Structure 1
Amino acid sequence: MEEVYVNVSHLDSDDKITSRKQTGPRSSESRFHGAVVLCLGLLSVFLLAGLIGLAVHYYNSMQCSATEVSAVKNNLTELLQASYDKILSLFEERDLLRTISKHMENNLTELRAQLTAMTEKSDWPKDRCCPAGWKMFGRTCYLLSVDSGSWDKGRQDCRDRGADLVVIDSREEQVFLSDLAPVDTWSWIGLTDKEVEGTWKWIDGSSLTTSYWDANQPDNGGGDPNCGEEDCAHIQTGKKITKNWNDLSCDASLRWICEKMA
């Protein structure tokens, strides 16, 4: 048999050359397709990230708007509730005022009826009046003397007129007498502590319960021997109504105020 020898190294070299010539373009094409796929993948990722970012931003915007709307709603609710409460309060006050007004009206009507009944039943003469020169307050007549003299002289003059020195037994009377004389007029009243020093009594024998002494009065002369004993009281017009009494020597010369029933 005839032996045939083949140059394997030559074939292998050609085959390798052929193989390299055949696989070169295919390899470049594969790399190109791979790059395209990679770019598309990255682009998709970027697009997806952008969409997610937009979605998050939109969601946050919606959340912010919802929060603002909720806050406005709460404020309006509070304002409406406050207005409602105020209206209820005004209605309650109105009803209370109506009740008070009705109650006062009833009381005034009842009081008016009582006064009318008292007037009709009273034996007070309708034509009763004070003598000339006297002034009426309530059912009492008062006279401020023209002359001046001691406390005893003033009391005697009042008695001669069917009266006596005034006894002040109410604040209303005190107010009336404080305006009876011109300003800075000193007038004797029926108050003295002649019997017991420091124990002031009215000429009708009643004890002094409510007084209107001036500051630091009565002081019985303050220890000044020139003043002597100050055992008689007088009222001074033009001073504060609640503080216009003073004690003075009964021999001092003052005007006086007489009092008698009309």
Structure 2
Amino acid sequence: MEEIYANVEYVKPVDSRPLTNQTGPRSSERRFHGAVVLCLGLLSVFLLAGLIGLGVHYYDVVRGLTEERDLLNANLTETTEELHQQNSDVIRGLTEERDLLNANLTETTKKLHQLQSLSKQKKTCPAGWTMFNYTCYLISTKSDSWENGRQDCRGRGGDLVVIDSHEEQDFLTCIAKQTRWIGLNDREKEGTWKWTDGTLLTQKYWEKEQPDNGGGDPRWGEEDCVTIRPEKTGPNNWNDLSCDASEKWICEKMP
């Protein structure tokens, strides 16, 4: 048998691991990737810092606008209140002036009618009555409530006195001698004083700290009717009193 011989050459395996000092394309690629990562990191840091700065600036702007808005609202509120107060003062002044003009007109009309009546014939007051400025006045001799005093005046053809001039106030202070009912009350609405002829009070002669509606003391009750108190010095001598109190009164009527 023929023998067959084969030559086998041993090939040493090649190590697939890269050498540490390899300087080929792969090493350059890694350095490039590292640089990109570093740049992206720095960019992220700068972006974050920018966002933080922008947030702080935005917060400052919003706070400034909020403070400015609050200041504008406060100024607007103050201005509105001032305008409202000014308007209220103007309206109140015009209302008082209107009431005073109406009172003066009423007084003038009253005196005109008196003069017209006297021009037609000479009139005198009944016995017991006193004339002043073409008007007759009666000083009662008995005491009773405000309403009963008024009924007595009506039964005599007049009514409780309406004081519409400083001269009349001085005259009645002189002849009244003591506390007496006059035709002023706020029985319909507390604080709204009206005379028996329906006119609103304009000329006032209240005592100091009057009217006080009893000062809240239940002993005096509701003080809705008015007396003139000549014992008080000076022209201001009106006092509010309970309408059920017993006092003398002053009647008034045309001659």
The alpha-carbon distance between structure 1 residues 217 and 138, as it changes in their structure 2 partners (threshold 3 A), is same
Q: 1:128 maps to which residue?
A: 123
SS at match of 1:179: helix
Picking from 240, 243, 246, the partner of 2:236 is 243
Picking from 142, 146, 153, the partner of 2:137 is 142
Distance 1:176 1:197 in 2: 29
Deviation digits for residues 191-210 of structure 1, max 9, x if unmatched? 00001111111111111011
- For 2:185, the aligned partner's letter is T
Q: 1:112 maps to which residue?
A: none
CA offset at residue 170 of structure 1?
A: 0.5
Q: 1:189 maps to which residue?
A: 182
The alpha-carbon distance between structure 1 residues 228 and 122, as it changes in their structure 2 partners (threshold 3 A), is closer
Q: 2:3 maps to which residue?
A: none
Distance 2:235 2:209 in 1: 13
* Alignment of 1:162 onto 2:171: no
Q: 2:250 maps to which residue?
A: 257
Q: 2:52 maps to which residue?
A: none
Distance 2:202 2:230 in 1: 21
CA offset at residue 122 of structure 1?
A: 5.0
Normalised by the length of structure 2, the TM-score is 0.53
Please tell me whether the aligned partners of residues 191 and 203 of structure 1 are also in contact (alpha carbons under 8 angstroms).
yes
Picking from 150, 166, 178, the partner of 1:171 is 166
Q: Which runs of 4+ in 1 moved over 2 A?
A: none
Instruction: Tell me the matched-pair count.
Output: 141
Please tell me whether the aligned partners of residues 174 and 241 of structure 1 are also in contact (alpha carbons under 8 angstroms).
no
Q: 1:219 maps to which residue?
A: 212
CA offset at residue 243 of structure 1?
A: 1.2
Structure 1: unaligned runs, 5 residues or longer: 1-117
- For 1:164, the aligned partner's letter is D
Normalised by the length of structure 1, the TM-score is 0.52
Identity fraction in percent: 61
CA offset at residue 261 of structure 1?
A: 0.5
- For 1:198, the aligned partner's letter is G
SS at match of 2:176: coil
Distance 1:190 1:123 in 2: 24
Picking from 194, 199, 205, the partner of 1:206 is 199
Larger CA Rg, structure 1 vs 2: 1
